[in-house]
Amino acid sequence: MRIAAFGDIVGRSGRMALLERLPSLRKSRALDFVLVNAENAAGGFGVTARIVEELIEAGADVITTGNHAFDQREELDIFDREPRLLRPANFPANNPGRGSGLYRSRGGADVLVIHLQGQRGMPPIDDPFAAAERELGLVKLGREAEAVIVDFHAEATSEKYGMGHFLDGRASMVFGTHTHVPTADDQILPGGTAYMTDLGMCGDYDSVIGMEKSEPVYRFTTKMQRGRMAPAAGEATVCGLVVETDASGLAISAEALRLGGRLKPAGGT
C-alpha cells in the first residue's frame, strides 16, 4: 500500500497549493490513502466545513487537526458530522468529534488512523502514550487493520521520537506535525515503522512558520503585541511523507516530499 501524509496547511496559500497538486499526486504516485493535517487551514487558525469538503474532493481520505482544532468555534459541529475529520484522541472525551477511525483505502484495505497531541510545551492534555495504547488495544496492525497511521501533533522532538519508538512495529507510520518545519530524518525504525519527526507545513516559507513576518518579529523584539497574526501569502511549499508498506502493514520505504515554493525539492514531482 502507498500512503501519503501532508503537513499542516497554513492559510490560503498552503491550502491552494495542496488542492492544486493533490489530484495529480494521487495519480502519479499511485496513492492508496492520503492524510492531510489542516489545523491552520482557515486563515491560520482551525478548519471550516467548506475547507474539509474541498480537501476530501481533492483526494484526502482523512483530515487531522491539533491544538487549533476548535478555533473556528461557529463550525464545531463539523467534527461530529464528518467522520473523516479528527481531533486528537487524548482531548477530553466530552469534546466534539473523535480521535481515531477505521477507514477504507482506495484498494479496499482497512486503515486505522490515530491522532494524538503531545504534552511537552503544549496546553495540558491527557497522556498521548496511554491514548495510543488504548486505541491499538481495539484495532491491531495485521489483524483488524492492514495499515496504522499515527499523526502526533507535538512540540518536542524528544516526545515525538519517544512515540515513534513506543509504536515501532505496531504502526505503519508515525510522524509529527505542529512545528511547521520539515525534518531531515525520514526513516524506517528497527521494528518496521516509517518515522519522520515533523512533516513540515504546506505554506509559504518566506514567513515565521507560515505567518507573515512583521507581527511575530515585532513580538519577539518588543515583547508586545501589535496586531493579529496573518498567514503569509506567497508561493507555498507542499510538504509531506510518502510511505510504502508490504503485506504485513510495516514500511518498506519512506520518502520526504517537498514541492514548489522556496524549499529545496524532494521526492519528485
Q: Cell 511549499 identifies what position?
A: 237
- Whether residue 239 contacts residue 263, with contact meaning beta carbons closer than 8 Å, is answered with yes
Catalytic entry in 68, 115, 178, 180: 68
Q: How far apart are CA 244 and CA 242, in angstroms?
A: 7
**Which residues have C-beta within 8 Å of that of residue 32, sequence separation ≥ 6?**
1, 2, 3, 105, 106, 107, 109
Q: Where are the beta strands (DSSP E) in 154-215?
A: 173-177, 187-188, 194-196
Maximum Cα–Cα distance for the chain, whole Å?
A: 55
Q: Whole-angstrom Cα distance, residue 214 to residue 120?
A: 27
Q: Which residue has the cell 466530552?
A: 94
Residue 207's nearest CA partner among 241, 234, 242 is 234
- Asked whether the beta carbons of 39 and 14 are under 8 A apart, the reply is no
The answer to whether residue 178 is catalytic is no
Q: Which residues are catalytic?
A: 68
